[in-house]
Structure 1
């Protein structure tokens, strides 16, 4: 044809234009006739060879190992694996290369397979881009290249595939926008671009493909709203836009698409939650999926008018409002998921919309969790579908009790009512849910005993009843579970011993959590049967006796928590057999003996807490012990390190010698004393000593004494609550007012707080410390452990009350600048004493206004040493074995370095004092709601300092209110202003981020006293 065209071009001048056309027409006819004759002779041979060359080219781009190596070039492609030809064997019509692990790119020669109708390339590792030649496959019906790593845009030449039935490019990494050329595919029926990196908005021009029945653009990064034009696709049955960044409201016109069978606008794994009889390609599936796209607005009422709906999923969006009416119109509904939105209801009948779902007899999945729904579970819940498999109602505000009718849902595999306000007892009828796999009732107010009937649920794999008020013992019927993976009964009031039956569950592999209960008795040897469990938490109970050696058989154990019990005896050597152990916490027990040296061999061990026991001897130096930040040994006074131990042994020998000398001296002294007594008797001298010459020790107080002193701990005498207990006002029998701090023994760390406060206050004396009168460790009338500290009563409350305006002078005034400055100096004095003037250096760790109290003379005193630390410096002769790692203090007052794992230090106290100083003069707490994002109290003050401090000062301190009268003397606004600048400057100097950049407490105290002197002296100069 090319040579014919040249011939015509050369002679067209000599021939007229009509003649040229005639000649061209005749020659073309002849060429076509001859070509047809030629194809009739050998078309099948040439066509199959062309297909073979295309397939060989495809094979050549596949990396080694090449799964297509079985393609023998001496044979026809029709004999190759994964290749399908037509009935006559003339052309390749199908290519199924799915799930072969192919690595490489798609050859452009793929376009030569002109008879191809099905191309399956999914589940491989193909890379590169889609070749333009795909557009030559005009007979293609199925193209599936999902689950690869193909990139680049969709080739515009695909628009040539005018007979295309299915285009599936799902789950690749194709990037760029959806090409406008897609709209040229006027006969396209199925378009699947899911699982790529497509971005930008959805082109409204897609609505021009009127023949489209299936459109899948899910699992991309598409943004913007859903085009309302999509409603023009009158033949569309399947629309999937899941897992994108789409926003806005769903266009109302979408709900008018009468042909629509399936609508998915979410991002969750839809298929993991679907009924088992639903396939991903069923065209008659009807559903809504609104999960990870951030759609707003309300649930449209028209949604419930689609009476053929089977699946409604609107989870994980920002939808608000109530559940619209119409749920009773959905007889074919299988899934209703509106979880994790902002849907609301109120009143006892707030959940009555669930009763409407009783008409949906095929309902398999119901989720309303993670909303703001308030109400009582209706008794009619038992009338829901008999095939209901999953019921999610957790994370709401549901009240009342669990209705007994719940037992009628005998098809349930999952029941989650966790984190509501449900009360009452667990109904016995729960035991009728024979198909139940997961039971979640955590974080409620459920009381009573755990019903034995739960043990009848033999298919259970997970139970979570934590965070309730359950009492009684753990049912032995729990031993019936054969497939249980996880059991959590923590944070209840369970008592009795640990049943051997629940330890005879070899299937347990996730975790066993029995912490924060009142369990007692020994830990059974059967603990070793749990060979597959990863985490065990038995902390905060009353378990006693030795730790069984069988614990070493828990080979899969990674975390073991046994703190805050009464375990005694030695630490088992069998811990070394638990090779994967990462965390071991056996603190706050009565363990004795030495630390097993084999613990050094646990290479995976990252946290070891042996604190507050009775351990003794030398601390190992290898393994986890080589990094003391990972080891907690405090509270074991008889432990020592290698060098210190040698010196201790030498010291003991010297002590023996000294002891012998002391005995001899004592004998001599005794003889001398006897002689003196005879001498005094002969003289009959009488020595009178007034009672005032001797100080009688404060009488020890019992639980009954404190109960009577506080009116049986009456709430009217409650002064406040702290981290580890409550403080009550009381009066001893002789009438002395006291403040009684009752520790919450159920709270982790309460004993540690009790001991820390006693240790700290035993070694310090200062006028600005709240005086500790005595302590009480006893048993209350319920035979429960009782711990209390008795302090002097501070009649003017806390500094926090004065800053917040809860307390004022009788004339209605708050604290003035001089009074606040005096408080600041009082606190600085005692902190400086603790840091630099006391024999044992003490760090308070929790300085804040609520821990600063004022007596009747408005003298400030620091209290609450529950987090205090006695710092022991390291010298050549002495090593500290106290670990002070961990964030200590209150939010807003904690120095930044504590959050990075630094030990408590005097510089940390300086930071907390600086924040307190800024709060004292601004009236703003560091956790005030105005401090959001990156702002904070100190940054707020820093921005106004020094030129605009009026913007941050407490309104009661504004100097423009006029002169201040203090003790009959006038202090001018100018003097107040200059003093306030100096005081805020001290606060900012104390709160520098770097500990090394902060001033010391002695420097701060000096500056504060200087500011007070200047304030008062300046006033004297003005009066002169």
Structure 2
């Protein structure tokens, strides 16, 4: 390394000597030495520069070098783009005093831009784009008075944009996007009266957009998106009404601006309304204002939409990801017939979709998703024959789908999920022969799945008919979708067998069929799906043995076979070797498997079959004796059973029992209208107890155990045992319990808790978007407070309660929120009390197999280790990451083997905001009236600390995880830092 630097210094010093010597000789020597100096600073001169040698004159045969005709020994153009050049730019290029164009774009050049380039007074074009240049933009470039084209995009430049750039009066194109430039946009840029294109996109610029930009009367392209700009859009931009059809060129290297007019201000922190003056820009073709905080609340605020009807060339209008509310005006239907892309997604717009929106006959993409639109899809949509993408998901749309939806024959994406559409799914969807994605999930569709859907052979990326009321069987025609990657049909009332033709979908990676009434066995042709990564067929009526071929799926990452009727031996290889990757609970007739499953050995069952039972002669006396013994046994057993019930429930000290009939009245007969949620071991109902005078106990939550499910009784006992002596502000409060017999003679057990009116954390993080109003979105302070509440609860359970308790199932659905948004940890059905001498469970208590929830459970649990407090900390760490990212730890969000921890780890490498929950990102700047860099950066620092806390708590090595006391200290420090910011706001 030292030797290479020394050689470079010798070359540069030698070149400098030649330059000094050449001042007394011919002018050609100056340019030649400058070129040799440039080559000497390249680490890998390509073959293209092989001609750069002393055997030929640089003006005649050197690649990329063009000399002046009037001054044949002076270089006027140096064009060396796209040659994979690696090294630094020599400052001696500043001696090429006749140079008019310097084009070194699309190489691998490093180092800083030499300030000496500012000496090139004749330079017209400077293109250093798409390299790896660092440092700041030299202020000396203001000396290039003839410069018309400056392109420094796609580098790593930082610092502020020099105000001296504003002195380049002939500049027509300024391209600085995709750097790390900061500071404010210089006011001096408003003096560049001939400027046609200004692209500052994807930097870290802050402050307000200067109103002086309204002076740029020849501007045809304005790109300011993906920065940190704040304030309102200046109405002065409406003065840019003389946009020219301008072609700016120099030797075919600069932009062809013919009839192009663009405004791109998206992905900033802009707020306020869009000025109606924008409609004065008659030549506008693209308006991108996405992902900011722009608003429209009243009819007047939407006037800009009416004004945009004057822009007859408008092709793209993107208003997505803002705070537009109220009703989308009918004037949107009067926009230019040239419009091909319209997006108002991710806003707060209500009311109906304008009925004449079909007037936009050339529209190719219509995005209305994630709003609060109501009513049905307007019939005029059928006029949009060129539509390629229709996204209306996450709204409150209803009604049935018209058969005319089959007229969209060019559709590639049809996204209708998470609405209230009803009726049957139209068979005319089969006409959409170019469809790649079809999302119909989370609606109220009824009837059969039309087999015509499966004739769309292009359907490859996604097919979702989940969470509806579809019935019947899955059509065998599904096998026609050879290229389908993901199939969702879960949570319907489908019956029949899993079609064997599913195995013909050769590229299928994810199958979700859970929560239906499917029967039969797992079809053997599924073994053809070698790329399968997720298979969830839980909560059905499937039976038969587990095919050994499942163990051969090398790509399989998640397998859920729970709550079916499978029998026989569980394999021990492949995915079945890691019990954190699969679930088989609720299948009582399975045996074998890995040791941590604690299933009965299959060998015992086989040995019983091998031994013949001796034949005993049966006499009347024998029968009478057996009857007498059995009757006596039943009486004793019943007595013990009743006694056990009394003992088990009376152990709930301080919690009086309640009768079955009282709970029936309280829950209106356990009505589905009162159902709050359902899990593996129980269902929770909202109820109102009679005669409860205690404050806030009249409305309760009743957890009714599903005793028919394996492990539910142990769950009930565990929860009672764990909660009977626990008292803490951040633990769910138990009011009473019930252990009785229902009218059919079956055992009935229930626990009554304090009702939590704000539901659970999971619903706030992942609930339906149309439910997530401004009041239903958690800001950063609220999330930190909830995480601190959970940490306090864990600290009490582990260190300060009557006896240590390991929760074993910390997750967002078990974090309940009361009326004041105080978090309470609930669901102690898997909780265990460790040995007095240890923080881990005694082995005898680990009899239910894998504990916890896949995605939250510690990795050591999958290896058969006993439960420990370290495991709770791991789950808490995942909860922290989920709370900040808004991403579930498992499921379809993390395909290709990527975990939530790996996702966050990538984000911590200089792109934190890419992994933060979008709603949280918007909140970080909500309410900022002026630029406030320190405030924003402090919040970002808090987010980074939270993500790092989650990573530390979920460390793979248990001993490396933080104790609860340290967690609380870190969260208190973060909360204190945020308190100042929210007090200021």
**How would you bin the TM-score normalised by the shorter chain?**
0.5 to 0.7
2:398 is aligned to 447
Give the C-alpha shift of residue 356 in structure 1: 2.0
Separation (CA, whole Å) in 2 of partners of 1:247 and 1:829: 50
Q: Alignment partner for residue 318 of structure 2, among 367, 378, 384?
A: 367
Distance 2:448 2:491 in 1: 14
- The structural deviation recorded for 1:516 is 1.3
Map of 1:243 onto structure 2: 202
Q: Does 1:618 align with 2:569?
A: yes
For the 8 Å contact 1:427–1:451, the answer to whether it is kept is no
Aligned match of 2:241: 307
User: Counterpart of 1:290?
Assistant: 224
Contact 2:560 2:582 in 1 (8 A): yes
Whether the 8 Å CA contact 1:431–1:457 is kept in 2: the answer is yes
Rate the CA distance shift 1:714–1:514 in 2: closer, same or farther, 3 A: closer
Distance 1:54 1:233, change over 3 A: closer
Match of 1:181 among 129, 140, 155: 140
Distance 1:290 1:588, change over 3 A: same
Question: Once the 2 structures are TM-superposed, how far is the Cα of residue 670 of structure 1 from its aligned partner?
Answer: 2.0
| C-alpha deviation, 1:626, in angstroms | 2.4
Q: 1:72-128, CA deviations, whole angstroms, 9 ceiling, x for partnerless residues?
A: 99999999897797xxxxx6889xxxxxxxxxxxxxxxxx99554444333342111
For the 8 Å contact 1:382–1:408, the answer to whether it is kept is yes
CA contact (8 A) 2:545 2:568 kept: yes
Work out whether residues 190 and 213 of structure 2, in 8 Å CA contact, stay in contact via their aligned partners in 1: yes
SS at match of 2:233: coil
Whole-Å separation in 1 of the counterparts to 2:861 and 2:602: 36
Which whole-Å CA distance do the structure 2 matches of 1:383 and 1:902 have between them? 66
2:480 is equivalent to residue 529 of structure 1: yes
Partner of 1:948: none
Residue number in structure 2 paired with 1:208: 167
CA contact (8 A) 1:341 1:371 kept: yes
Q: Is the 8 A contact 1:777 1:788 kept in 2?
A: no
Structure 2 Cα separation of the partners of residues 64 and 934 of structure 1: 42
Deviations 1:535-592 (A, max 9, x none): 2222222222221222222222222222222222221222222222222222222222
1:101-250 to structure 2, matched below 5 A, reads 114-250=73-209
Q: TM-score, normalised by structure 1?
A: 0.63
- Whether the aligned pair in 1 keeps the contact of 2:463 and 2:486 (CA below 8 Å) is yes
Secondary structure of the residue aligned to 1:399 is strand
1:632 corresponds to which residue? Answer: 583
How far apart are residue 211 of structure 1 and its match?
Answer: 3.5
The match for 1:680 is none
Secondary structure at 1:545's aligned position in 2? coil
- Aligned equivalent of 2:715: 760
**For 1:863 and 1:58, how far apart are their aligned partners in 2?**
69
- Where does the alignment leave 5 or more consecutive residues of structure 1 unmatched? 1-30, 37-45, 86-90, 95-111, 262-285, 678-690, 745-749, 779-786, 802-823, 836-841, 854-861, 889-894, 916-928, 940-991, 1000-1024
What is the CA–CA distance in structure 2 between the aligned matches of 1:558 and 1:914, rounded to whole Å?
30
- Which residue in 2 is equivalent to 1:339? 290
Out of 374, 393, 408, the position equivalent to 2:344 is 393
Verify: 1:543 aligned to 2:494, yes or no. yes
**Residue 617 of structure 1 contacts residue 638 of structure 1 at CA under 8 Å; is this kept in 2?**
yes
Residue 887 of structure 1 contacts residue 901 of structure 1 at CA under 8 Å; is this kept in 2? no
Give the corresponding residue for 2:737: 771
> Would you say 1:482 and 2:482 are equivalent positions?
no
What is the TM-score with the length of structure 2 in the denominator?
0.65
Structure 1 residues 717-755: Cα deviation after superposition (integer angstroms, max 9, x where no partner): 9798898653123689xxxx99997899xxxxx989987
Residue 684 of structure 1 is matched in structure 2 by none
Q: How far, CA to CA, are the matches of 2:225 and 2:408 in structure 1? A: 32
The range that moved more, 297-306 or 665-674, is 665-674
1:115–1:137 Cα contact (<8 Å) kept? yes
Seen in structure 2, the aligned counterparts of structure 1 residues 160 and 124 have a Cα distance that, compared at 3 Å, is same
CA distance in 2, matches of 1:208, 1:493: 63
From 543, 568, 586, the equivalent of 1:592 is: 543
Query: 1: CA distance between counterparts of 2:358 and 2:410?
Result: 16
Change in 2 beyond 3 A, CA 1:901/1:294: farther
User: 1: CA distance between counterparts of 2:143 and 2:113?
Assistant: 13
Residue 799 (structure 1) shift:
13
Aligned counterpart in structure 2 of residue 670 of structure 1, from 613, 623, 626: 623
Deviations 1:375-432 (A, max 9, x none): 1122222111001111110111111111220111111111111111111111222121
Task: Answer yes or no: is the 8 Å Cα contact 1:349–1:376 preserved in 2.
Answer: no
Q: Show the 5 A alignment for 1:50-129.
A: 66=47, 114-129=73-88
Change (3 A) 1:65 1:298: closer
Counterpart CA distance in 1 for 2:529 and 2:205 is 49
Contact 1:634 1:882 in 2 (8 A): no
CA offset at residue 364 of structure 1?
A: 0.8
Report the aligned-residue RMSD.
Answer: 5.7
Relative to structure 1, the CA distance from residue 465 to residue 852 in structure 2 (aligned partners, 3 Å threshold; closer, same or farther) is closer
Does structure 2 conserve the Cα–Cα contact (< 8 Å) formed by 1:887 and 1:899?
no
What's the secondary structure of 2:418's corresponding residue? coil
CA distance, structure 2, for counterparts of residue 620 and residue 694 of structure 1:
40
Q: Which residue in 1 is equivalent to 2:372?
A: 421
Q: Contact 1:568/1:590 (CA < 8 Å) preserved in 2?
A: yes
> Could you tell me how far apart the structure 1 residues matched to 2:99 and 2:289 are?
39
Q: 1:500 Cα deviation (Å)?
A: 1.2
| 1:601/1:397 CA distance change after superposition, 3 Å | same
The answer to whether the Cα contact below 8 Å between 2:858 and 2:874 also exists between their aligned partners in 1 is: no
> What residue number does 1:257 align with?
216
CA distance in 2, matches of 1:868, 1:296: 49
Query: In the alignment, is the contact (CA less than 8 A) between 1:885 and 1:901 conserved in 2?
Result: no
Q: Distance in 2 between matches of 1:797 and 1:909?
A: 28
Note closer, same or farther for the CA distance 1:409–1:676 as it changes in structure 2 (3 Å cut). closer
**Residue by residue, what CA displacement relative to the aligned partner does 1:158-199 show, whole Å, maximum 9, x if unpaired?**
344332221111121112222233222233332222222222
Q: Which residue of 2 aligns with 1:608?
A: 559
Flag the structure with more relative contact order, 1 or 2, with Cα contacts below 8 A and sequence separation at least 6: 2
Contact 2:46 2:83 in 1 (8 A): no
Deviations 1:855-910 (A, max 9, x none): xxxxxxx996677799999989998655644367xxxxxx9999999999474899
In structure 2, stretches of 5+ residues that fail to align are: 1-23, 244-260, 631-638, 647-659, 692-696, 725-733, 760-795, 819-824, 835-839, 878-923, 925-938, 950-957, 966-985
Matches of 2:230 and 2:849, distance apart in 1: 57
CA contact (8 A) 1:844 1:869 kept: no
Q: Report if aligned partners of 1:216, 1:240 keep a CA contact under 8 Å in 2.
A: yes
Change beyond 3 A, Cα 1:873–1:616? farther
* Paired residues of 2:715 and 2:830 also in contact (CA < 8 A): no
Aligned CA distance change for structure 1 residues 241 and 774 (closer, same or farther; 3 Å)? same
**Which residue of the partner structure matches residue 983 of structure 2?**
none
SS in 2 for 1:344: strand
The answer to which of 139-148 and 444-453 deviates more is 139-148
Q: Secondary structure at the match of 1:181?
A: helix
Q: For residues 51 and 913 of structure 1, what CA distance do their matches in structure 2 show? A: 67
Q: How many pairs align? A: 762
